[in-house]
Amino acid sequence: MDFSGIFLFWLQSESRMFIGLEKESSSPTEKLARKESLKVQKKNYRQEKRRVAKELFSALKDPSVVIMSNWLKIRGSLKSWTKLWCILKPGILLIYKTTGSDHWVGTILLNACKLIERPSKKDGFWPKRRISLVFVFCETVFSIWSPFEDHNLWFIPGRCWMDALELALSCSSLSKMMAKSGRDGDLSSSSESSHILQLNDSMLENHMENDANSDKSEREAHEDSDNATNENGGRLTEESDMDQSDDVCLQATAFVEEAHEEIGEVGEASQVETVSEENKGLIWTLLKQLRPGMDLSKVVLPTFILEPRSFLDKLSDYYYHADLLSQAVMEESPYCRMKQVLRWYLSGFYKKPKGLKKPYNPILGEMFRCCWLHPQTDSCTFYIAEQVSHHPPVSAFYISNRKDGFCISGSILAKSKFYGNSLSAILDGKARLLFLTRDEEYIITMPYAHCKGILYGTMTLELGGKITIECEKTQCYTELEFKLKPFLGSSCNVNQISGKIRIGEDVLATVDGHWDSKVHLTEKRTGQQEVLWNAGPDIRRQRLKRQVVQVDQQEAFESERLWQHVTRAIMDKDQMRATQEKFVLEEAQRQEARERAERPWNPQLFTFNSDTNEWHYRYPDTKPWDPERCLLQFEKDGIIQTKEKSQHQRRSFSYSQNWAAQQKVSHAGS
C-alpha cells in the first residue's frame, strides 16, 4: 500500500486552493463563486485527509507500509543543500540518491531523533511558507555520508510531509512499546497501546478540524504541532537513553533477584539457641582451650553455630531499606534528615537468623557485591565489600547511589572476647554516610553482639553498647544505647533501646522502644510522640529486593562461590562435611600466607590511608548527579561507575528541558 499518491493529492489541492486566492477578481459574482468553490475544496480536503489518516493508523501493524516518498532538499549543519529521494515508513526515514533505490545514502531512526520545526521568515500557508525540519540525533545512528557527520540534518519539506512525519513518529512510539511488551498481534491486545492510539487519533482529528478556517488558525495549528513534536521528541530522547542503558547493561555485571531470604522471628524466641548433646561436647572441647579475656579471632569455631553466609554478606543487611536514605536527602531541615537517617539505621537489625549464629570469617581477598533497585526513583544502590586484612580481620565496604544522592564508606575490625559464661563480638570501626548534594557527612558507629549462657543457662544473643550518629556540618547528633536484658528482667526487657537527638547542646527529641519492633520518638518541646520505626509485617513487605550475581558468574574469591560447599553442607545438616570443607578453605589461606611471607597484601578495591588509619574505596565518585550529563550508574568487576551522555544526547536533553520550561511559563501565563 503506497500513500504517496494520496499525499500528492493533498499537496495539489493545497496549491490550487491558495493559488486561487492570490488571483484578483473583477466581478463580485465571480468572487462569490470562487468563495463557494473554495469551501467545497476545503471540505473535500478535510474528508480526504481524515480518510487517509484512518488508513495509516490501520497500517501500523505492517512495517512494510510506505507512508510517503518524494524528493526533498537535505543538508547537514555545515553542508550545502542536496536533493535526495526520501521514503518515509513507520518509525524510519530511508534516503536514496535516486528513485530506483540503487544508491542508498542512509537511514534515520525516528525514535533516536528529536524533530524540531523551524518556520522561515515567509508567512502564510504552504506553498508560500517554507518549513525547515531539524533532526537532532540523540545517539549515533550510523554515518556513511558527510551530511550525517554533524549529527543533525536540515530538511525543507511540504506541509503534507509534516502530517506524515507526525504519524511516523506515532508509529515509532507504538512499535517500540509493542516490542517491549512482546506482543506482535493486534494493537488492541495492549490496553496501553490502544490508549495511545486513541489519543493520537483524537489529536489528529482536532488538528484537522482546526485546519481550514484561516491563515491564522493554520499558524496556531502549526504551533500546536510543533509543541507536540517537541514533546514526542522528549519522550523519544528518553527511549533513546533507555536503549543506551540496555547497551551499558550488556557490559556491566548481570544481577538477578535473590531467590530466597531468611528473616528470624521477632523477640527473644529467635535469639535463643538449643544445643544438642553432641554439640555440647564440641563446645566443652573448645572452652578448654580458652581463657577469660582471650581474643577469639584465631579460634576455629564449630560449624553448627555458623550462619551459612559470609560476614561481608551480613554487613549488607543495612541496605534493604536504602530508600529511606533517598528520602532523607530530600528533607529540608537538618533535624528531619537526622530522624530519617536514624530510621534507616534501625532498619538494619531485624533481619537475623533464628538462634545463635555467627557468619563465616571472610578469607583474605574475599569480595561480595550486590545491589537494590529503587522503584520510586528508578535508581540503584550498589554494595561492594572486600576483606582487606585477615590478622586482624578487617572488612571494608562501599555503597553508592549517585542518582539519589548518597554514598557510604567504612571498615569494620571484628574482635571477639571470651568472659567465661559469655562472649562479645565487637565491631570496631565507623561508617561515613555522605549526602552528595548537601556535602553533609554522618559518622556512624556500631553496637556489639553479646552471647551469654555458654557454660550454664540458656544461650542467648543480644545487642549492646552505645552508638552515635554525628554530622559535624549541621551539629546534629544522635546517641543511642542498646540495652542488654537484666538478670531479673522479663521478655519486655529484650532488645530495648533508648537515646536522644540534639543539635548542639539542645535536646530536640528522645527515642525509646525495641529495635526489632516499635521505636517511638518524643518531641522535647511539644511532647508529641510518633512511631519512628516499626519492624512489623508492613515494613517487611516494603523491603527492597536484593539483586545478586549468579554463582556460576562470580569470580573465584566472591563470597557465595568461595563458601558454596560449606554452605551446602550446613544446609544439608552434615556438620562433618561442613567442617572438612571449611578446613580446606582455611588451610589454603594459611598456605597462601606462608608463600607471601613478609610481603604485604594488596587489596583489589580498597586502599589504606595511614594518616586517617582508615580504608578507602579506590574508585569513589562523590560528585552530585547531573541529569543533563549522567545517564545511569552501573558496576563492573567491583568498580561502580557512571555512564555519561554523549554531547548530542546532552543537547537533546537541553532542548527538551527548554521546551518544558517554556510550556510551564505558557501555562502559568494562561
Running DSSP on this structure, what letter comes out for residue 525? T
Q: Provide the 10 A C-beta neighbour count for residue 240.
A: 23
Q: Are residues 470 and 339 part of one domain?
A: yes
If you average pLDDT over residues 404-432, what whole number do you get? 88
Q: Which band of pLDDT confidence, cut at 50, 70 and 90, is reported for residue 588?
A: very high
If you average pLDDT over residues 117-136, what whole number do you get? 49
Residue 591 lies in a domain: yes
State yes or no: pLDDT of 562 exceeds 80: yes
Q: Are residues 262 and 160 part of one domain?
A: no
If you average pLDDT over residues 138-146, what whole number do you get? 36
Residue 510 lies in a domain: yes
Residue 297 lies in a domain: yes
pLDDT at 53: 61
Q: Residue 378: what residue type?
A: D
Running DSSP on this structure, what letter comes out for residue 143? -
Q: Which three cell numbers stand for residue 229?
A: 513534536
Buried b (16+ CB within 10 A) or exposed e, 159-174: bbbbbbbbbbbbbbbb
pLDDT at 41: 78
If you average pLDDT over residues 175-191, what whole number do you get? 40
Residue 643 lies in a domain: yes
Q: How far apart are CA 134 and CA 150, in angstroms?
A: 12
Q: What number of residues does the chain have?
A: 670
Q: Per-residue pLDDT tens for 265-313? A: 666 666 666 655 555 555 655 665 665 655 655 566 666 678 899 999 9
Spatial contact of 425 and 358, defined as CB atoms under 8 Å apart: yes
Q: Which band of pLDDT confidence, cut at 50, 70 and 90, is reported for residue 131?
A: very low
Of 589 and 132, more confident: 589
Angle made by CA atoms 500, 501, 505, in degrees to the nearest 5: 100
State yes or no: pLDDT of 156 exceeds 70: no
If you average pLDDT over residues 340-365, what whole number do you get? 88
| Selection from 397, 410, 404 nearest residue 381 by Cα | 404
Q: Are residues 517 and 387 part of one domain?
A: yes
State yes or no: pLDDT of 206 exceeds 70: no
Q: Are residues 283 and 420 part of one domain?
A: yes
Q: For the domain that residue 434 is a member of, what is the CATH number?
A: 2.40.160.120
pLDDT at 225: 42
State yes or no: pLDDT of 18 exceeds 60: no
pLDDT at 499: 96
Q: How far apart are CA 319 and CA 342, in angstroms?
A: 13
State yes or no: pLDDT of 599 exceeds 80: yes
Q: Which band of pLDDT confidence, cut at 50, 70 and 90, is reported for residue 652?
A: low
Q: Are residues 497 and 403 part of one domain?
A: yes
Residue 47 lies in a domain: no
Q: How far apart are CA 464 and CA 609, in angstroms?
A: 30
Share of the chain above pLDDT 70, in %: 61
- Residue 164: φ, ψ to 5°: -65, -40
Q: How far apart are CA 515 and CA 447, in angstroms?
A: 12
| Selection from 575, 577, 559, 565 nearest residue 303 by Cα | 575
Q: Are residues 383 and 484 part of one domain?
A: yes
Q: Per-residue pLDDT tens for 438-496? A: 999 999 999 998 888 776 667 788 899 999 999 999 999 999 999 988 876 666 788 89
Spatial contact of 356 and 459, defined as CB atoms under 8 Å apart: yes
Q: Are residues 573 and 469 part of one domain?
A: yes
Q: Are residues 448 and 301 part of one domain?
A: yes
- Find the range with the poorest average confidence among 175-179, 330-334, 467-471, 500-504: 175-179
Q: For the domain that residue 159 is a member of, what is the CATH number?
A: 2.30.29.30
**What domain count does the chain have?**
2
Q: Per-residue pLDDT tens for 603-648? A: 999 999 988 889 999 999 999 999 888 888 999 999 999 988 876 5
Domain around 468 = 255-655
Q: Are residues 293 and 159 part of one domain?
A: no
Q: How far apart are CA 508 and CA 329, in angstroms?
A: 20
Q: Are residues 282 and 154 part of one domain?
A: no
Q: Which band of pLDDT confidence, cut at 50, 70 and 90, is reported for residue 40?
A: confident
Q: Are residues 556 and 425 part of one domain?
A: yes
Pairing status of strand 306-310 against strand 358-360: parallel
State yes or no: pLDDT of 115 exceeds 70: no
- Which helix (H) or strand (E) element contains residue 345? helix 334-346
Residue 81 lies in a domain: yes
Spatial contact of 10 and 49, defined as CB atoms under 8 Å apart: yes
If you average pLDDT over residues 341-355, what whole number do you get? 88
State yes or no: pLDDT of 113 exceeds 60: yes
pLDDT at 667: 57
- Which helix (H) or strand (E) element contains residue 498? strand 496-503
What does 71-102 look like in DSSP terms, one character per residue? EEEEEETTS--EEEEEEEETTEEEEESSTTS-
Q: Which three cell numbers stand for residue 241?
A: 537513553
Residue 486 lies in a domain: yes
State yes or no: pLDDT of 184 exceeds 70: no
Q: Per-residue pLDDT tens for 501-532? A: 999 999 999 999 999 889 999 999 999 999 99
Q: Are residues 289 and 158 part of one domain?
A: no
Q: Provide the 10 A C-beta neighbour count for residue 276.
A: 9
Cell numbers 506541509: residue: 159
